[in-house]
Amino acid sequence: MHARSILTKKMRTYERRNGLTDLSNSPAERCYLFGPFALLPAQHVLLKGEETLRIGKRAFAILAALVERAGNLVTKKELMAIAWPRRVVEDGNLKVTVASLRRALGESRPGDRYLENVPGQGYRFIAPVMCTEALSMARRARGLRARNLPCSSTRMIGRAELVASLATALPRRRLLSIVGPGGIGKTTVALAVAEALADQCEHSARFVDLASVADARFVPMAMARALGVTIHSENAVPALVTALRHRHLLLVMDNCEHVLPTAAALIDEILAVAPGVLVLATTREPLRIPGETLHRLAPLATPPVTAGLTAAEALSFSAVELFVERASACLAGFRLSDCEAPVVADICRKLEGIALAIELAATRVDTFTLQELSRLLDNPMRVLNLEQRCAPIRHRSLAAALDWSHALLADHERRVLRRLSVFPGSFTLTSAHAVGGDDCDVVAAVEGLVAKSLLSADVDGAVVQYRLLNTTRAYASRKLLESDEWSDVGPTLQKLSLRVACDG
Report the alpha-carbon distance of residue 343 to residue 376 in Å, rounded. Answer: 12
Contact 2, 50 (CB under 8 A): yes
- CA distances 434 to 431, 485, 498, Å, are 5, 16, 11
Residue pLDDT, tens place only, 337-379: 999 999 999 999 999 999 999 999 999 999 999 999 999 999 8
Torsion sign over Cα 62, 67, 68, 74: positive
> Is the model's pLDDT at 187 over the cut of 90?
yes
- For the segment 290-305, the average pLDDT, to the nearest whole number, is 95
Using only the alpha carbons of the chain, give its radius of gyration.
Answer: 29
pLDDT for 142: 36
pLDDT tens-digit series, residues 423-435: 888 999 998 988 8
For the cut 60, the answer to whether the pLDDT of residue 216 exceeds it is yes
What pTM was computed for the model? 0.75
The string of pLDDT tens digits covering residues 257-270 is 999 999 999 999 99
Q: Residue 494: which pLDDT band, with cuts at 50, 70 and 90?
A: low
pLDDT of residue 48: 83
Whole-number Cα distances in Å, 420 to 427, 467, 470, 471: 9, 9, 12, 13
Nearest by Cα to 163 from 193, 200, 199, 198: 193
Q: What is the pLDDT of residue 18?
A: 37
Q: How far apart are CA 74 and CA 62, in angstroms?
A: 10
Interior/surface letters 119-157, b for 16+ CB within 10 angstroms, e for the rest: eeebbbbbbbbbbbbbbbbbbbeeeebbbebeeeeeebb
Most confident of 5-19, 133-147, 167-181, 393-407: 167-181
Exposure of 98 in the CB half-sphere (CA atoms within 13 A): 20
Least confident of 24-33, 174-183, 202-211, 340-349: 24-33
| Mean pLDDT for all residues in the chain | 84
Q: Does residue 475 carry a pLDDT above 60?
A: yes
Per cent of the chain over pLDDT 70 is: 85
pLDDT attached to residue 488: 58
- Return d(Cα 235, Cα 220) in angstroms, integer: 9
Give the SS3 label for residue 373: helix
